[in-house]
Amino acid sequence: VTVRNRGGRAVLADVARQAEVSMSTASKILNNVASVSVRPQTRQRVLDVAAELGYRPHVTARALAGGASHALALLVPELTNPVHAKMIRSAFRTARDLGYTVLVAEDPAGARTDDSFADLVAAGHADGILIGSARPGHPLVADLRRRGIPHVFVNRPVPGSGRNVGMDVAAAGALAVAHFAGLGHRVVGHVGGPADLETSRTRTLAFRTAARRFGLTEAPVSHVPFDERSGAEAAEALVREHPGLTAIYATSLGQAVGVVHTVHRLGLRIPQDISVLAYDDLPLAEFLSPPLDTVAMPLTELGAAAVHALVEQIGGAEPADVQVPIAPELVLRGSSAPPRG
Amino acid sequence: VTVRNRGGRAVLADVARQAEVSMSTASKILNNVASVSVRPQTRQRVLDVAAELGYRPHVTARALAGGASHALALLVPELTNPVHAKMIRSAFRTARDLGYTVLVAEDPAGARTDDSFADLVAAGHADGILIGSARPGHPLVADLRRRGIPHVFVNRPVPGSGRNVGMDVAAAGALAVAHFAGLGHRVVGHVGGPADLETSRTRTLAFRTAARRFGLTEAPVSHVPFDERSGAEAAEALVREHPGLTAIYATSLGQAVGVVHTVHRLGLRIPQDISVLAYDDLPLAEFLSPPLDTVAMPLTELGAAAVHALVEQIGGAEPADVQVPIAPELVLRGSSAPPRG
DNA sequence: CTGAAAGCGCTTACAG
DNA sequence: CTGAAAGCGCTTACAG
């Protein structure tokens, strides 16, 4: 007899009863616990009954009993940023393959960070946290470590944490400078991210190092937020203060949109007067006026690597820094060219 | 004595013991259950102890015991779309104010929708679902209704469901046509969304109705996906097939970006040759070349209304259609002007 | 009105 | 190797 309760849902007891095994055995079979060695026939019977009843383990009960929620919390600085969307998507997929669910939350820089994120874990909602929104003095950072909660930093590293999952950001900067230098540019401006973010500093350092190596005459840098407006303002200052400037490397697509806006507003042309290159490749870049050259970063691999690292940590492994072993790539669409003259 | 267990977390039993009340009483006080009427002094003692111990209810246990997870699942068609980000943010905030957590998931049109979403609820992860990704034949739609799971449709209605939370989409179309007609345009093209989405049909209907009312000579419509490339292709067809066309109203910012791309590629100017207007206002619009005129929709209010409707439904209220009572507004930045000649 | 007890649906030592 | 029993941390009828 098919027995059900609670709104028609079959529970483990139903499966066990109908398959004529104990709940323990049913549980172990359904969870692929190695120690159980029932006859193949019995195992199959349990599986069949579970399928027939449409049995779904109640995650909440499972979490309470087993001490694990099989969920990961993912914090991003802003949902709006398509860059994060790409990483999030990949994190979702990877997590699912590993038997985890991902809960995304937005953790904007401005907001007071209440302790609700650490509580996600403390309260049994998640087994660990992927932090894509790290910044210096973030209250969460110290708190998580102190409370021994599994966590990794994605994309925005926390120096010395020993749990950073990142990409070869330095290679991106070198690639950008090499590209411009190869075209013959001597004065290249860099619109960098906020100075207090480690990612920004790393990108800038890589840019400066490469600028020196390639013998650029000037390599002015400005540090501003990642949005369009900030990019526009930074570009204006760069162009004004460096008359010889013929190229700009922006550290986000948003900033690059602002750069283009300013260049046009100043009556200059892209790429004839000023070449523009953006960090991160997204579909939007192709349809801007003009279409933008970009450095494509391995964001999909980043999301996957972060989930793997976190799940290993939850499994008891020591935290470790991870760098995605995929090199950034140039995507050229015509927003850069040799300087005039 | 401060007693704790499980990784330093205080549990209800700790609070009860230290405050010298029963767990039942502690639970009721902490949950503001009306029926409990202890001395104010006792109540305060419990509250103080809970604060002192940093007590956080274990959501998983609470969900299992009480039958409610106090979490809502929110499905959006794609995380990348900033429009959804705005709504999501608002949903988060509203939910928090009502004592709920929101779990966001991406539910892209292409993907086979496994039953994992309904399972979010069935498995005790969420008490209800906000569906922003509805489309005809979506397996989830029938399933949720059959299983009696609380849910509402946000932004993309399901006709006849009686649980749609939406905005005055028709007003947006009328506003767009009125704007162009007022400038003197006679042939206005409309880049609409996918024809199988009810939202798209409603927007198109509103556009056509207004076009008739304002006596436009021609009002060609094309139905394409919301992305940049589709907008670009649609614009090309519209311009080619309607030589007198002087204005285009696109139904997403992404499409509008594509429209601009095409107009430029054809060697035409904005707004001198073709005026462009986009549905949905976002920061990006201001920094495009040229900055885009838009119809701003009340997305923040939409997210809030959806959460309220769902929570009421969870509370036992009958589902009902809701329309956010805030009118769309024109945001003008110079991408539209009177037609030449 | 209060507290002891049962129970939410599972997992996992532990005894057989 | 298997199954009975305890227990995860709460809430909520139910008896006092």
Q: What is the 3-state secondary structure (H, E, C) of chain A?
A: CCCCECCCECCHHHHHHHHCCCHHHHHHHHCCCCCCCCCHHHHHHHHHHHHHHCCCCCHHHHHHHHCCCCEEEEEECCCCCHHHHHHHHHHHHHHHHCCCEEEEEECCCCCCCCCHHHHHHHCCCCCEEEECCCCCCCHHHHHHHHHCCCEEEECCCCCCCCCEEECCHHHHHHHHHHHHHHHCCCEEEEEECCCCCHHHHHHHHHHHHHHHHCCCCECCEEECCCCHHHHHHHHHHHHHHCCCCCEEEECCHHHHHHHHHHHHHCCCCCCCCCEEEEECCCHHHHHCCCCCEEEECCHHHHHHHHHHHHHHHHCCCCCCCEECCCCCEEECCCCCCCCCC
CA atoms of A58 and B144, how far apart (whole Å): 17
DSSP result, B99-151: T-EEEEEE--SSS---THHHHHHHTTS-SEEEES---TT-HHHHHHHHHT--E
Choice among A202-216, A289-303, B76-90, B178-192 with the minimum mean pLDDT: B76-90
Q: List the B35 CA – D14 C1' distance (angstroms).
A: 15
Give chain B's mean pLDDT: 87
B68 close to A (CB below 8 A): no
DSSP result, B176-231: HHHHHHHHT-SBEEEEE--TTSHHHHHHHHHHHHHHHHTT-SB--EEE--SSHHHH
Return the higher-pLDDT residue of B271 and B122: B271
CB B17 within 7 Å, strand D: no
Average pLDDT, integer, range B164-170 = 94
pLDDT score of A309: 96
Does the structure show a pLDDT above 50 at A118? yes
Residues B87/B154, Cβ–Cβ less than 8 Å = yes
pLDDT score of B232: 97
pLDDT score of B78: 80
pLDDT score of B27: 87
pLDDT score of A93: 87
Query: Which segment, A63-77, B88-102, B181-195, is predicted with the most confidence on average?
Result: B181-195
Return the higher-pLDDT residue of B114 and A296: A296
pLDDT score of A7: 55
B122 close to A (CB below 8 A): yes
Q: If you measure CA to CA, which chain A residue comes closest to B63?
A: A60
Average pLDDT, integer, range B241-251 = 96
The model's confidence at residue B220, banded by pLDDT at 50, 70 and 90, is very high
Contacts of B7 in chain A (CB under 8 A): 147-148
Q: Is A286's CB within 8 Å of B59's CB?
A: no
Choice among A68-77, A222-231, B112-121, B288-297 with the minimum mean pLDDT: B112-121
Q: Is A227's CB within 8 Å of B8's CB?
A: no
CB A338 within 7 Å, strand C: no
For B11-62, the pLDDT digits (tens) are 888 888 888 888 888 888 888 776 767 788 888 888 888 888 888 888 778 8
Identify the residue among B76, B289, B292 best suited for mutation to test binding to A, counting A beta carbons within 10 A and taking the highest.
B289
Does the structure show a pLDDT above 80 at B120? no
When CB atoms are compared, the residue of B79, B89, B289 closest to A89 is B79
CA atoms of B19 and B23, how far apart (whole Å): 10
pLDDT score of A230: 97
Return the higher-pLDDT residue of A49 and A212: A212
Q: Which residue is associated with the tokens 């003259």? A: A341
pLDDT score of A8: 64
A56 close to B (CB below 8 A): yes
Task: Residue count of chain A, please give it.
Answer: 341
Query: Which segment, A112-121, A144-153, B73-82, B205-214, is predicted with the most confidence on average?
Result: B205-214
pLDDT score of B168: 94
When CB atoms are compared, the residue of B63, B78, B291 closest to A60 is B63
Task: For the sheet with A329-331, list strands across it.
Answer: A221-223, A188-192, A247-250, A275-279, A293-296, A329-331
When CB atoms are compared, the residue of B106, B260, B288 closest to A89 is B106
